Structure 1
Amino acid sequence: MLERVENLGTIGDVVGVKDGFARNYLLPRHKALRATSANLKVFEAQKDQIVARNAAAKAGAEKAASELDGTTYVIIRQAGDSGQLYGSVNARDVTDAVIEAGGKVERNQVSLDTPIKTLGVHAIKVRLHAEVTVSISVNVARSQDEADRQAAGENVIAAQFEEDRLADEAAAADMLEGGAGQAIADAPYEA
């Protein structure tokens, strides 16, 4: 291994993986070498350089992590009354929001297991380096006003249902008070 790969190994480890994983991922991305005697000798000769390069990359990732950790980004999307999005928010959308706000992150660094399909504030992991992971928040809303209300902790979907319920009760009370259809009966009939 030339660098740490999660759930696999760290620098210098000799691990057994399936051929396809090695051929399609580890070898082309220079994360590992085949464990031949020639490659093991080359690795031992360059081990200090590889460890130093990894430490420099980790230090850069930690610096970026200090700027990124705990930040919140707003993504405006259209949604139905129940809070379901018309579409979804994926890793590319999160990456675009971070870059637009001045942060630096790549799409493959955003760890989003499933796309976001509802309104609300969602926690997302960003893996800047194999050993550096930060958490950011994405506030998915229909408008900036709604995003501000969600950021303050309000459940806008529940609030909307409550407003609709109160409006329906007021309309029902108005109908009982004035009598349904009374305005039509009072109007003069023209033939």
Structure 2
Amino acid sequence: MDVILLERIAKLGQMGETVKVRDGYARNYLLPTGRALRANAANKARFEAERAVLEARNLERKNEAQKVADVLEGKSFIAVRAAGETGQLYGSVAARDVVEILAAEGFNVGRNQVVLHTPIKTVGLHNVELHLHAEVEISIELNVARTKEEAERQAKGEDLTSADAIYGVDEDALRPEDFFNPDADYDLDEETEEAPEASEEAGEEEDK
């Protein structure tokens, strides 16, 4: 479907351009959200007549988005989720969860503004992109942990999925000789040493 863009759309075009998009994308997103018009003679004339108003409205939206961006840029938010010892979540953190977390902190961000290509499935510090406007893109940090206490430790740089965190073992302090010392005199199991003699005695009895 050919549409006339009413604002700049990333990777698609600038305001006023006529571009070809998939029908579903146009019907489900661009047209109902007022970001585009069907490309026909009537709408082209309408756009030209309203261009000044549309440009002013776009600038206003950009300024509003920038104000939010100035506050959100680089901020960290905690997401408490159940997870196993290795850090694998029992579930995942999706775009809708990010929207809810931000809403709880007083930030109104739409689900379509959260750029999360794949759901988050492990504890850790994750960067999440927010496209607040076609010309305003920022990144926030999502601190996914099992508890708020663990989130605080994680924020300080601690790896909650390391052997040290899980088992109390300092991975950096481990050496090969801690597991096997080639110079040590390892005794064989007593039963193993006696087994061949027992077998020989049994053989002698059979010969008699």
Provide the TM-score with structure 2 as the length reference: 0.74
More moved, 2-11 vs 154-163: 154-163
String of CA shifts for 1:6-42, please: whole Å, max 9, x gaps. Answer: 2111101111223333333322222112222222111
Residue type of the alignment partner of 2:32:
P
Mapping 1:63-74, distance limit 5 Å: 63-74=67-78
CA RMSD of aligned residues (A): 1.7
Give, in whole Å, the separation in 2 of the partners of 1:81 and 1:131.
41
Give, in whole Å, the separation in 2 of the partners of 1:32 and 1:162.
56
- Is the alpha carbon distance of 1:38 and 1:106 closer, same or farther for their aligned partners in structure 2, counting shifts above 3 Å? closer
Give, in whole Å, the separation in 1 of the partners of 2:147 and 2:27.
46
Which residue of 2 is the match for residue 187 of structure 1? none
> Could you say what secondary structure the match of 2:140 adopts?
strand
Is 1:41 matched with 2:45?
Answer: yes
Which residue of 1 is the match for residue 168 of structure 2? 163
Which of 1 and 2 has greater Rg?
2
Mapping 1:30-179, distance limit 5 Å: 30-158=34-162, 159-163=164-168
Give, in whole Å, the separation in 1 of the partners of 2:144 and 2:107.
18
Pairwise CA distance, 1:162: 4.9
Which residue of 1 is the match for residue 185 of structure 2? none
- Is the alpha carbon distance of 1:137 and 1:28 closer, same or farther for their aligned partners in structure 2, counting shifts above 3 Å? same
Aligned-pair identity in percent equals: 49
Structure 1 alignment gaps of length 5 or more: 167-191
Aligned residues: 166
Give, in whole Å, the separation in 2 of the partners of 1:51 and 1:127.
19
- Is the alpha carbon distance of 1:16 and 1:102 closer, same or farther for their aligned partners in structure 2, counting shifts above 3 Å? closer
> Could you say what secondary structure the match of 2:8 adopts?
coil
Give, in whole Å, the separation in 2 of the partners of 1:88 and 1:148.
20
Residue type of the alignment partner of 2:120:
I
String of CA shifts for 1:65-109, please: whole Å, max 9, x gaps. Answer: 001111101111111111101111111221221121222222221
Structure 2 alignment gaps of length 5 or more: 172-208
